Amino acid sequence: MPERGPYLVALAGQQNAGKSTLFNMLTGLTQHIANYPGVTVDKKSGSYFAEGRRYEVVDLPGCYSLAAFSLEERVARKFLLEDRPDVVVNVIDATNLRRSLPLTFQLLEMGFKVVIALNMMDSAERRGLEIDIAHLERRLCVPVVPVVGRKGRGEAELRAAITKAAVSEHVTPATLNYGSLEEAVARFQAGIAADAAFQDVSARWLSVKLLEGDSEAETFLGVRLDNPHGMLDEVYKARDAFEAKQGLSSGDHISGCRDRHAAEIIAASVTDSKAGQVPVSERIDRVLLNRFAAPLFLLATVWAIYQLSIVQGYELTKITWPFLASFRNLMAGILPDAGFLTDPQIRSLGLWIVDSINTLLNYVPIFLILFALIAILEDSGYMARIAFILDRILHRFGLHGQSTLPFILAGVFAGGCAVPGVMATKGIPDARARLATILTVPFMNCMAKIPLYTLLINIYFPEAKGLMLFYLSTITVVVAMLVAKLLTSSVLRNEETAPFVMELPSYHLPTLTGVARRSFDRTWLYIKKVGTVVVAIAIVIYVLLQFPGVPAEKQLAYQAEAEAAVAQFYETLYGNPLRAAVEDPARLVDLINVSSAYKAARLNAGSKSAVEAMDVTLAEDHPDFVPFVLRSRDADAKAANKALRDLSKQRSTLRREMRSDRIEASFLGSIGRAMEPVTQFADFDWKINIALLSSFAARESSVATLGVLFDQDEGENATLEERMGEQQAGEGRTAVSAVALMLFFALYPPCLATVIMVRVQTASTRWMVFSIIFPTLFGLAVASAVFTGATALGLTGLQTMSTVWLAALGLLLIVALPKPWLPDFLPGGTREAAE
Amino acid sequence: MRRRVFQAMGLGRGNGVGRGGRQKGYRCRDACCRERDDINLNDIVPGEVCRICRLHGCGSVRQRLLDLGFQPGREVKVVRNAPLYDPIELQLGDSFIVLRRREAAHIEVTHA
């Protein structure tokens, strides 16, 4: 038997028709998901086997027709023309037949073998629509399979219909008659059919497209013919003649014919037993979209998302963190042992990477919940309503109703991630608003910004924590709006805009599998995309921080101090019988390592019994170390324990000093110092510069880097807050400096993962670079202005922050309020929004 | 009353008209349009039903509206305003569609 290739099946249909659900139903787990369902422009493909043949299924982007206006439609059309699928499954929302059938007619016109999957039959039944499937099949001359994608009903029938259509040689002729234009259509059809250049396209389809005035069809003609002008002239002539005669453009006439034909078919095949009744969705909307109730419901929804994902998610991370911590301890055990003064490079690097990965994985529970909730919002249909409610405000700032989702994902309050936020901008049909959203989403408070805020607020504003957090989380939204306005009226002014035309889908009860799947997919995407980048950058930052290393003479001084400390240790234990166990200096290092591993594990141990179990293991593995590590009443053991503690303390101090020296001498340290002349206006010293530089890799690392720079002994247990507060106060730093730093951090460029996502989503390196440079300069300007201004005026930190916040709010109102003195300003003031 | 307030704020009817411009050589033969020439969907208050006469504007907006079923002759019901007055929700057959007032101003209608 000759080798037969797979059949190519394309899923075509409108947005919200349930294409993605049917696609999942057909292909199961074999699919390649490159992007989000519903908001895909990229191709999703998968496959399945039936009767010994492979069926490759491609999910086309949602489109209403195959005109050349929107990107989705162009992508779908290009695929249909170039890949010529064997079968096209036209997914139709059974509750919305009239609007769906024009696409069916176009698919038939293109000469495809079409199978109609009449989806959402259950909704149609609930709405009281009785659809005469047999009649529909007769009128359209193609198989019509009723399915309920969400429940998996009709799957076998659909597969059977696809197989039958794939095998059959019969192609349904198009049945749509264009009335007064039919004569012209037929004329060009005959002309095209006779031309050898057009053997692979449907002559009738091309003829209709040309008469419709489709620009791409005209281009296509130019590609296929050496001299298309003769035919094009004739087409123009025919179009003009028709318009002159009918007073209607041929395109409108064709579109009208399709609509009337659809109406005619539906009139004969659908009975509406509940005609005139108000649909359930509309009844829900009367409450949810009520002028006064809508904002309340919206606030309640956003609050619930915040509570469930961020607050409860953090609770969950308390359960998951010990697993990550024990993973780190495990790795610490596997990697080469630590030395007394310096560690093997591979150990430091390994732990550095593990730490970077752990900070990332720590957010996974939060993301799972957050993405599940957002999937519920999308599937239920409420997301579209949010866009409806907020469009006016967002539009005022050059954004779009559908910018809401990206902003929520990126963390309108506190806690989110700009990476999924930027990814979610795919759904915005307006190019200008989309770019503005992409460039402002990183201003939101991503989860990694919070630790630095908390750190600084705890140091400088212990009595006004809540107020400061409120200021910070609201000012970012205000600034994002202002920047969006600024960008859309300057650099983005010439970008293409699109109207806000959106269908409000009926409310659906989301399914568990659908929601879970989406949540896992998106979280996985986050881990994959961000994970690889974070690891790569972690290594780069590590190298920049480690090299060229501590200067040689300093190194020698440290070495001498270390030797002195060790000698001191042995001297203290002179005459102590326990000294024999560590007589060999290599054993001493072992002891110190065992002791610190024990301490780390003990911190992570949850219960008393776990600690006891650890003690037993220690006694088994290293019986001679027990007196040093565990406290006991025995005098010798007490002395040994104390000597070890003193030694560990000295070791930590030395190591910290060395690390600090190393960072100062490092490449990153030099860069941080070199930046001081510029950053001094915002009162950032080199340490903060380094932290900000390293936070470009991932925001979390800013606090980690500060932790290293303001490092101290483990034994002393002073929090980073205390350490940093002390040192900073010693250097004359005040709360105003902290405000400047927090503002800069709030406006700081997106982290590297986000920047890469910006590159992916805008498909432009120029915008990627812009997304780094603009916020840096902007943030630095704001921070410098705030610091210099507040210092000159002698304001306190809280006063400064309040002033900045009020100023930003004032600016927002000025931009938002209608300006009657500007005649050509966009219509639609936002007086209510301001109130 | 509310309508008057909005008009005072410069938000009343007529917003956006003419931005898209009429297509060259475009004439309406529909009798309904000649009687009351300049009512558009933006002027209809929620709860009212009207009939589409023609679409102004061009390009993708127009195509999208046609695809969604805004065909001359069809009836449209204005369902509600958004809480902030703009956009508006329309019912066209069985589907509910949201439009900004600026786009709605492109759709010329007559009272049904």
Q: Do residues B51 and B112 lie in contact, with contact meaning Cβ atoms separated by under 8 Å?
A: yes
Split at pLDDT 50, 70, 90, the class of A720 is low
Mean pLDDT for the stretch of residues A745-751? 81
Q: What residues of chain A lie within 8 A of the CB of B103, using their CB?
A: 499-501
Q: What residues of chain B lie within 8 A of the CB of A401, using their CB?
A: 87
Q: Between A556 and A264, where is the model more confident?
A: A264
Give the highest mean pLDDT range of A467-481, A631-645, B32-46.
A467-481
pLDDT value for B79: 93
B49 interface with A at CB cutoff 8 Å: no
What domains appear along chain A, each with residue ranges and CATH number? 7-167 (3.40.50.300), 179-277 (1.10.287), 552-661 (no CATH)
Split at pLDDT 50, 70, 90, the class of A11 is very high
What burial class does residue A460 get, using C-beta atoms within 10 Å of its C-beta: 0-12 exposed, 13-18 middle, 19+ buried?
buried
What burial class does residue A671 get, using C-beta atoms within 10 Å of its C-beta: 0-12 exposed, 13-18 middle, 19+ buried?
middle
Mean pLDDT for the stretch of residues A451-471? 83
Which of A55-69, A72-86, A650-664, A721-735 is the least confident region? A721-735
Residue carrying the six token digits 């003195």: A821
Determine, for residues B26 and A829 on separate chains, whether the beta-carbon distance falls below 8 Å.
Answer: no
Q: Where are the domains of chain B?
A: 2-111
pLDDT value for A437: 93
Inter-CA distances, A758 with A73, A411, A424, A495, A694, Å: 23, 17, 11, 17, 20
pLDDT value for B80: 92
Mean pLDDT for the stretch of residues A475-491? 90
pLDDT value for A731: 63
Inter-CA distances, A633 with A570, A628, A638, A640, Å: 21, 12, 7, 12
Mean pLDDT for the stretch of residues B80-105? 89
Strands (E), A435-532: 501-504
pLDDT at A132 > cutoff 90 = yes
pLDDT value for B13: 42
Q: Closest to A99 (Cβ–Cβ): which among B61, B95, B103? A: B95
pLDDT value for A715: 38
pLDDT at A581 > cutoff 80 = no
Q: Closest to A96 (Cβ–Cβ): which among B64, B67, B94? A: B94
CA atoms of A400 and A347, how far apart (whole Å): 49
Q: Do residues A152 and A25 lie in contact, with contact meaning Cβ atoms separated by under 8 Å?
A: yes
CA atoms of B97 and B77, how far apart (whole Å): 10
Mean pLDDT for the stretch of residues A597-607? 75
Instruction: Find the length of chain B.
Output: 112
Determine, for residues B60 and A69 on separate chains, whether the beta-carbon distance falls below 8 Å.
Answer: yes
Which of A277, A392, A393, A826 to mutate against chain B (most B CBs within 10 Å)? A392
Q: Could you read off the pLDDT of B9-48 as tens digits, one per residue?
A: 444 444 433 333 333 334 444 444 444 457 888 889 999 9
Determine, for residues A827 and B97 on separate chains, whether the beta-carbon distance falls below 8 Å.
Answer: no
Determine, for residues B98 and A69 on separate chains, whether the beta-carbon distance falls below 8 Å.
Answer: no
Q: What residues of chain B lie within 8 A of the CB of A396, using their CB?
A: none
Please report the number of interchain residue pairs, chain A to chain B, with beta-carbon separation below 8 angstroms: 149
Q: What residues of chain B lie within 8 A of the CB of A69, using their CB?
A: 59-60, 63-64
pLDDT value for A726: 66
pLDDT at A296 > cutoff 90 = yes
Is A22 strand, coil or helix? Answer: helix
Q: In the predicted model, what is the mean pLDDT of chain A?
A: 81
CB atoms within 10 A of CB A444: 26
pLDDT value for A227: 86
The residue among B110, B88, B112 whose CA lies nearest residue B100 is B88
Q: Closest to A388 (Cβ–Cβ): which among B64, B74, B98? A: B98
pLDDT value for A577: 72
The residue in chain A having the minimum alpha-carbon distance to the alpha carbon of residue B79 is A282
Q: Given CATH 3.30.230.10, say whether it is the number of domain B2-111.
A: no
Q: Between A153 and A423, where is the model more confident?
A: A153
Q: Could you read off the pLDDT of A13-48 as tens digits, one per residue?
A: 987 788 888 888 888 765 555 443 333 466 778 888
Which of B19, B94, B101, B106 to mutate against chain A (most A CBs within 10 Å)? B94
Q: Between A628 and A383, where is the model more confident?
A: A383
Q: What residues of chain A lie within 8 A of the CB of B8, using their CB?
A: none
pLDDT value for A530: 67
Q: Could you read off the pLDDT of A320-339 as tens digits, one per residue?
A: 888 888 888 888 878 877 77
Mean pLDDT for the stretch of residues A400-414? 80
The 3-state secondary structure of A221-270 reads HHHHCCCCHHHHHHHHHHHHHHHHHHCCCHHHHHHHHHHHHHHHHHHHHE
Cis (ω within 30 of 0) for the bond into B87? Answer: yes
Split at pLDDT 50, 70, 90, the class of A804 is very high
pLDDT value for A103: 92
Instruction: Find the length of chain A.
Output: 835
The 3-state secondary structure of A478-496 reads HHHHHHHHHHHCCCCCCCC
How many Å is the maximal CA-CA distance in chain B? 39
Give the highest mean pLDDT range of A113-127, A312-326, A519-533, A571-585.
A113-127
Angle at A468 between CA A462 and CA A469, to 5 degrees: 105
CB atoms within 10 A of CB A580: 11
Q: Could you read off the pLDDT of A195-230 as tens digits, one per residue?
A: 888 888 888 999 999 998 888 888 888 888 888 888
Determine, for residues A501 and B86 on separate chains, whether the beta-carbon distance falls below 8 Å.
Answer: no
The residue in chain A having the minimum alpha-carbon distance to the alpha carbon of residue B67 is A64
